[in-house]
Amino acid sequence: MIELSAVAAWRRYADEQRHAGRRVGLVPTMGALHAGHASLFRAARDHGDVVVATVFVNPRQFALDGDHRAYPRTPRRDLELAQSSGVDCVVTPTIEEMWPSYPEVTATTVAVHGVGDPLEGVDRPGHFDGVASVVAKLFNVTGPCRAYFGEKDFQQIAVVRQMVRDLDFDVEVVGCPIVRDEDGLALSSRNVMLDLDGRRRARALSRALRTVASGPLTASEVRAALRRVLGEGGVDVAYAEVVDPATFVPCTEHDEGERRALVAAVVDGVRLIDNASVTLRRAG
């Protein structure tokens, strides 16, 4: 496994792989890697790609600098997991190269409206601007590739796909299934910040989604069930919504068929998200 940090070397490596007739598979991460990331690495490997993993805790997608500093970092373990999962190249760029003006505001920002406006867009103003901006840079440096993202961040995938369409990136965005722990909790780098009681209460997110997955239910029944289970679990609900998975427009009582239920909650200061496919029936 090759380890790189310089943007120029990273760009050169990806160019060399394509010149040799290989497809590049890019897995963007913020480190603190776990089995969910490993599943993305394996998916890229299974597609026959040369697997490039980036590890960069992007400050532009955090509302507060303190949140950026508090984000878990496990650099040694990250390299071990990447190597054991078949990654060919790990890129750990510096903030100085990624955002030369940091901590000053960067002059150029990529903003994706529509799918990026509700839910996370409301609760975390500027978050998706930071995500879209850094992913655009990752795509620009890597060049034509497949890019693998976990569906736990379902709205993030929608934002990235919209950006790719609108800006004509030569990138195929691949969404991969959520990986869960034995207790149902969706794997997240933030989970390590929970104590035993917090983890117990955090299970309410996946439990709420399982409650509505059996369907079919009306949109209002889905929202009510999600909030009821989350409330019983003792978490602070940020949102519990069901939307069109392509547009992220909230569903109405007239909608039917497959839609997406998304939840977000705060547990002891740790913000967690989860989602699942649901089947709606028309009310009445």
**Catalytic positions, please?**
37
**List of residues 6+ apart from 144 with CB closer than 8 A:** 18, 24, 170, 171
Phi/psi of residue 160, nearest 5 degrees: -65, -40
* Helices 204-213, 219-232: crossing angle, 10 deg rounding: 150
Are residues 241 and 264 in contact, defined by beta-carbon separation less than 8 angstroms? Answer: no
Are residues 199 and 170 in contact, defined by beta-carbon separation less than 8 angstroms? Answer: no
Q: 116: which strand partners?
A: none
- Measured CA to CA, the distance from residue 157 to residue 242 in angstroms comes to 16
**List of residues 6+ apart from 40 with CB closer than 8 A:** 27, 148, 149, 150, 176
- Measured CA to CA, the distance from residue 224 to residue 211 in angstroms comes to 11
The angle formed by the CA atoms of residues 165, 137 and 114, to the nearest 5 degrees, is: 40
- Measured CA to CA, the distance from residue 190 to residue 197 in angstroms comes to 15
Q: Where are the alpha helices (DSSP H) in the chain?
A: 7-19, 35-46, 65-70, 75-84, 95-98, 120-123, 127-142, 154-167, 196-202, 204-213, 219-232
C-alpha torsion 236→241→246→249, nearest 10: -120
Nearest to 116 by CA among 150, 88, 154, 87: 154
